[in-house]
Chain A
């Protein structure tokens, strides 16, 4: 059954124009090489936001690259957002999100750090999540120098970045050193077991399907997905205790491959007493926001920014 008739008509043309991933370990390097100039070349809106590339020393001795966006003329102790880009754990760079994040930083008056975490399969779990943790530690340890309020640091990610954001919230809770004020999970890729569960008949037809999901998880875990003993810091949905997590927004499309795992996580967060907002957008497959001018994409973006403003007490 095709789900084409269920897709928001404003979103459909962009989805159909999007090449399917169909990545393998052999094609991945060429795919990255082809995509990154495109991703890095997206026009950044002309706003008074200063962008800076930094390199954060990690405890393992390597440098974690990140982009820091800071609106000009910020007063002291601004809220901050740690951003984690998407790309199935295997592709992507912070630059692909910089246009949107620049506007977000400007609109909300917040400092945003987007982390260039290490990708699988060259660097399977836990390389990526530890890079995110390094970035979180950097924000906290340098809060005064950065002019940010350490009590108002949120994490946000899309797709695999949403999975990393959710895992980072778990890791930060469990290590107990660097608190997060909020997690914003945008269509998070958070459960490797989706690869081995019966298919939802309406999800995963467009942009990101089961084969891509299986490949992404296999690379991240360096093992078959769905096996025993997968860490919740790799696949957040594996966590059995969700108590004590920060307030959460989960936003996802009704036709997104990750719908089931996202709804389940939201229900479990609510049952665990975590302040949780969930928004499911009708007619939206994974990655629908590439149709940036569609009404639903604009609404979803506005909803995300409004949720950040509330969570970070921005008036």
Chain B
């Protein structure tokens, strides 16, 4: 059964234009190799935001973690900040994929944004990427005065696998108790490794853009073993956390046809029960990655909701 009839008509051109992509050991190097040219092909908006690289100490020897930093030219002092994690199944991607969107955010919110070029799997298994993100959080806190940002208004944000890292980082930061996070902004986050192995999959999710099969491949790449086992860390799959209390206020957005919709609803529901202020938006007729159809009505709506939520979280 196809779910094509459930797709918002404005998004059909996107799924028709996308080559059927199944991630595998064979396809991964090709997709990675093609990515820089795809990124370059999209022009950046003309906005008064400066983009540059910073090298953040990893905390492990001399190794550094590259981050893309965006700073509005007219940023006020003591500005809020977003620590951003890109998507790509934990196996591909780079901060530059989101440069255009993040420029808009930095400009609209007057905030500093740091997007982490975390290490990818399978070369680096869990928890390598998460520790890279933690290093970036440590750096933001340590350099806050110098950067002119407000330590009390640092948000984490990510989409897809980046949403998993953002949610995992929020758990890790809560548990280590060193660095505060004011807000977690999770777009179509991948939260639960058990979705990839569920014996009763939701029949209306995961047909387009991001499939169970690709997800399964990525979990193996990240964990180095079959997902769905007894001992997956909550820092890898935040849905595995048994206690969600004390997490920062949360925004979760996901499409109704997204492979991750069930885990997102459940996570939001559990956050609420745990007393975490939580906003959830499920967009009808939207599959994973629908934001790529940048000019479509659903993507514009989701983008407006993103900005409204960030603005509210930063009390702007």
Closest partner residue, chain A, to B202 (CB atom): A271
| Selected interface stretch from A100-108, A183-191, A277-285 | A277-285
> Chain B, 277-316, contact with A by CB distance < 8 Å: what is the 0/1 string?
1111111110000000000010001000000100010000
Report the Cα distance A249→B283, complex, angstroms.
9
Given contacts A270-B204, A299-B308, contact A279 B265 (CB under 8 A): no
Q: Which residues of B contact A247 (CB under 8 A)?
A: 284
Question: Once the chains bind, are B280 and A273 in contact (CB under 8 Å)?
Answer: no
Question: Once the chains bind, are B265 and A273 in contact (CB under 8 Å)?
Answer: no
Closest partner residue, chain A, to B205 (CB atom): A270
Number of interface residues of B (CB under 8 A): 29
Question: Once the chains bind, are B272 and A259 in contact (CB under 8 Å)?
Answer: yes
Given contacts A282-B249, A282-B279, A299-B308, contact A266 B203 (CB under 8 A): no
Q: Can you name 14 A-B residue pairings with CB atoms under 8 Å?
A: A202-B275, A254-B272, A254-B279, A260-B269, A263-B265, A266-B282, A270-B202, A272-B204, A275-B256, A276-B256, A279-B281, A280-B272, A280-B279, A310-B297
For the complex of A and B, 9 pairs with smallest distance between CB atoms: A278-B282, A280-B280, A275-B284, A277-B284, A282-B277, A282-B279, A254-B272, A273-B204, A270-B256
Question: Once the chains bind, are A273 and B6 in contact (CB under 8 Å)?
Answer: yes
Q: Which residues of A contact B24 (CB under 8 A)?
A: none
Closest partner residue, chain A, to B279 (CB atom): A282
- Does A45 interact with chain B (Cβ within 8 Å)? no
Question: Once the chains bind, are A277 and B282 in contact (CB under 8 Å)?
Answer: yes
Report the Cα distance A43→B16, complex, angstroms.
51
Question: Once the chains bind, are A266 and B272 in contact (CB under 8 Å)?
Answer: no
**4 additional contacts (CB under 8 A) given A267-B265, A272-B204, A279-B281:** A271-B202, A276-B256, A282-B249, A282-B279
Given contacts A6-B277, A277-B283, contact A295 B6 (CB under 8 A): no
> Contacting B278 at CB < 8 Å: which of A249, A273, A276, A280?
A280
- Does A41 interact with chain B (Cβ within 8 Å)? no
Q: Which residues of B contact A202 (CB under 8 A)?
A: 272-273, 275
**Is chain A's interface secondary structure helix, strand, loop, or mixed overall?**
mixed
Q: Which residues of B contact A200 (CB under 8 A)?
A: 273
- Does B96 interact with chain A (Cβ within 8 Å)? no
Q: Which residues of A contact B56 (CB under 8 A)?
A: none
Given contacts A266-B282, A280-B268, contact A271 B204 (CB under 8 A): yes
- Does B261 interact with chain A (Cβ within 8 Å)? yes
- Does B226 interact with chain A (Cβ within 8 Å)? no
Distance in Å: Cβ of B256 to nearest Cβ of chain A: 5
Report the Cα distance A6→B278, complex, angstroms.
10
- Does A20 interact with chain B (Cβ within 8 Å)? no
Q: Which residues of B contact A271 (CB under 8 A)?
A: 202-204, 262
Given contacts A271-B202, A271-B203, contact A254 B265 (CB under 8 A): no
A interface residue numbers (CB < 8 A to B): 3, 6, 200-203, 247-249, 254-255, 259-260, 263, 266-267, 270-273, 275-283, 295, 299, 306, 310
Q: Which residues of A contact B265 (CB under 8 A)?
A: 263, 266-267, 278
- Does B3 interact with chain A (Cβ within 8 Å)? yes
Report the Cα distance A260→B273, complex, angstroms.
9
Report the Cα distance A273→B257, complex, angstroms.
9
Question: Once the chains bind, are B279 and A281 in contact (CB under 8 Å)?
Answer: yes
> Chain B, 247-281, contact with A by CB distance < 8 Å: what is the 0/1 string?
00100000010000110010011001101011111
Closest partner residue, chain B, to A273 (CB atom): B204
> Contacting A278 at CB < 8 Å: which of B203, B281, B301, B308?
B281
Closest partner residue, chain A, to B204 (CB atom): A273
Question: Once the chains bind, are B261 and A270 in contact (CB under 8 Å)?
Answer: yes
Closest partner residue, chain B, to A200 (CB atom): B273
Q: Which residues of A contact B268 (CB under 8 A)?
A: 263, 280
Given contacts A273-B3, A282-B278, contact A267 B262 (CB under 8 A): yes
Q: Which residues of B contact A280 (CB under 8 A)?
A: 268, 272, 278-281
Question: Once the chains bind, are A278 and B202 in contact (CB under 8 Å)?
Answer: no
Question: Once the chains bind, are B281 and A275 in contact (CB under 8 Å)?
Answer: no
Q: Which residues of A contact B282 (CB under 8 A)?
A: 266, 270, 276-279
Q: Which residues of B contact A248 (CB under 8 A)?
A: 284
Q: Which residues of B contact A255 (CB under 8 A)?
A: 272
Report the Cα distance A295→B311, complex, angstroms.
12
Report the Cα distance A283→B269, complex, angstroms.
13
Report the Cα distance A6→B279, complex, angstroms.
12
Q: Which residues of A contact B280 (CB under 8 A)?
A: 278-280
Question: Once the chains bind, are A273 and B277 in contact (CB under 8 Å)?
Answer: no
Q: Which residues of A contact B269 (CB under 8 A)?
A: 259-260, 263
Q: Which residues of A contact B284 (CB under 8 A)?
A: 247-249, 275-277
Report the Cα distance A270→B301, complex, angstroms.
20
Report the Cα distance A203→B274, complex, angstroms.
11
Report the Cα distance A272→B312, complex, angstroms.
34
Q: Which residues of A contact B278 (CB under 8 A)?
A: 254, 280, 282
Report the Cα distance A203→B278, complex, angstroms.
13
Report the Cα distance A277→B305, complex, angstroms.
14
B window 155-211: CB within 8 A of A: 202-205
Report the Cα distance A294→B281, complex, angstroms.
19
Q: Which residues of B contact A266 (CB under 8 A)?
A: 265, 282
Distance in Å: Cβ of B114 to nearest Cβ of chain A: 25
Distance in Å: Cβ of A90 to nearest Cβ of chain B: 28
Question: Once the chains bind, are A254 and B281 in contact (CB under 8 Å)?
Answer: no
> Contacting A201 at CB < 8 Å: which of B202, B273, B277?
B273
Distance in Å: Cβ of A174 to nearest Cβ of chain B: 22
Distance in Å: Cβ of A210 to nearest Cβ of chain B: 16
Closest partner residue, chain B, to A256 (CB atom): B272
Q: Which residues of A contact B6 (CB under 8 A)?
A: 273, 275
Report the Cα distance A88→B101, complex, angstroms.
45
Report the Cα distance A281→B283, complex, angstroms.
14
Report the Cα distance A201→B269, complex, angstroms.
12
Report the Cα distance A272→B280, complex, angstroms.
20
